Structure 1
Amino acid sequence: MIEAAIFVIFPLCLAFAAFSDLFTMAIPNRISVILLGTFVAVALASELAIGEIGLHISAAALVFAVCFCLFAANVMGGGDAKLLSASAIWFGLNASLAGFLLYVSVAGGLLTLLVLFLRRQEDRILAAGIPVPRLLLTAKKIPYGIAIALGGFAAYPSSPLMQATLAQLP
């Protein structure tokens, strides 16, 4: 049962956040709450050491502190900050967190370039009838939840919980 939660909850939440951000330019708070709550339940059920859980919580707190500053400077949206922090708890304070953040940064840069390109081509896209979410073309922000999801998908196999789960499989 714990293995199923480890394999399914994190990717499913990220996918839902990405689609929500793409179509509504918002990430529901419940996704971040589910990620945090599920991590705590999984960590306790998988008998992670208290010190290890502390490192995971420290990772989330550190990412949240940086994201809070970016949010206060109006550089990052609140939903993105909460999702990135809630995702960071699944990686812990180790190399897998650095990999996750690197993947998110690269995906975010590419996403930003793509969205800016699409916005410059708005007239052509609309004239051709290409199905692109209208908010993607008209909003003044980037749906960074997509980049967080892509970074999470890329880095998740190297996360401590996933590695421990894979090591226990026959």
Structure 2
Amino acid sequence: MYNAAVFLIPPLCLVLASLTDFLEMKIPNRIPAILAASFFLIMPFSGLGLVEIGWHLAAALMVFAVCFTLFALNVMGGGDAKILTAAALWFGFNTSLFEFLAFTGYIGGLLTVAVILLRANWDKLATVGMKLPQTLMVANKIPYAIAIGAAGLIAYPSSPLVVAAIQNLH
């Protein structure tokens, strides 16, 4: 049961956040709430000591502090800040968190360029029948959860919880 939770909950939450942000330009609060609550529910079964759990909490607090600052400066959306913070709980304070955040930045940059190009060529895309959500085309923001979700899916297999769960399978 523990392994199934580790393998399924974070990827599913990240994919759901990506989809809802793409379709609606918002991330429902229940997604990061489920991600964070499930971490706390399965943590007693993880085999991690209090120090390691503390590092997972420290990672989330660090990510939250940076994201809150960016949100206050109107650079980042609140949903993005919440999903990044909740995902950081699952990564912990280690190289997999750095990979996750670095991939988020790289993919987010590519996503931003792609959305700007889509918006600039919206009329051409519409004439060939390409349909995209109206909110994506008219909103003055980028659905950054797409980048967060993709980065999470790329980096999550190297997180300590996944590595330990894979070792438990043998």
Identity value in percent? 51
- Rounded to whole Å, the distance in 2 between the matches of 1:156 and 1:95 is 11
Structure 1 unaligned regions, length at least 5: none
Give the aligned CA root-mean-square deviation in angstroms: 0.7
Aligned to 1:66: 66
Amino acid at match of 2:147: A
C-alpha displacement of 1:47: 2.7
Verify: 1:85 aligned to 2:85, yes or no: yes
Aligned to 1:14: 14
SS state at 2:130 partner: coil
Q: Distance in 1 between matches of 2:37 and 2:163?
A: 20
Partners of 1:125 and 1:167 lie apart in 2 by 48
CA drift at 1:82: 0.4
- Number of paired residues? 170
Q: Give the 5 Å matches for 1:146-165.
A: 146-165=146-165
Name the residue aligned to 2:139. 139
Moved over 6 A (4+): none
2:104 and 2:39 map into 1 onto residues whose CA distance is 20
Structure 1 residue aligned with 2:114: 114
Supply the distance in 2 between the matched residues of 1:12 and 1:25 (Cα, whole angstroms): 18
Aligned residue for 1:89, secondary structure, equals helix
Per-residue deviation at 1:41? 1.4
- Partners of 1:48 and 1:40 lie apart in 2 by 12
What TM-score does the superposition give when structure 1 sets the normalisation length? 0.98
TM-score (norm 2): 0.98
